[in-house]
Amino acid sequence: MNTEQNLSLVVRYNKDVIESGNMAILKEIASPDFINHSAPEGMPSGLDGMEYFFKEILHNAFSDIEVSIEDMVANENKVATRKVIYGTHTGKLMDILPSGKKIAINVIDILLIENGKIKAHWGQNNFSEVIQSL
């Protein structure tokens, strides 16, 4: 894939998977041997861990999810994004009851793309700080 195709794939990942919660698209655009090098301790590092986070944590606890890609840079087969995930805490998150608070998760991601599929992920975010603010 060329750089433009890689950038398009990453936009699709952010909008269709993270923002819309479409896990069928995650399975379509990610490699079956995908690995999340930034998976929290105790969470699976494959696609099942990503699906669990997006579906069971993010979309169950927050509504009005919007992903705002602030910066996106591509270099050969890697794409980095700096983004903010916005939402409203309207569902239970672990033991935290809905608060109605607006949240902003700041994220920096690097995605490795091989053969038109997302193969690996590295990332940093402030999700633990967001949890503490609820």
The pTM is what? Answer: 0.93
Q: Which of 112-132 are b and which e, b meaning 16 or more Cβ less than 10 Å from the residue's Cβ?
A: bbeeebbbbbeeebebeebbe
What are the structural domain ranges in the chain?
3-133
Residue 9 has a CB neighbour count (10 Å cut-off) of 19
Which residues, 6 or more positions from 130, have their beta carbon under 8 angstroms from its beta carbon?
103, 104, 105
Supply φ then ψ for residue 81, to 5 degrees: -130, 145
- pLDDT at residue 95 in the model: 92
| Mean pLDDT of the chain, nearest integer | 96
pLDDT in tens, 15-67: 999 999 999 999 999 999 999 999 988 999 999 999 999 999 999 999 999 99
Confidence of residue 80 (pLDDT cuts 50, 70, 90): very high
CATH label, 3-133, candidates 3.30.70.100, 3.40.50.620, 3.10.450.50, 3.30.70.1140: 3.10.450.50
pLDDT in tens, 82-122: 999 999 999 999 899 999 999 999 999 999 999 999 999 99
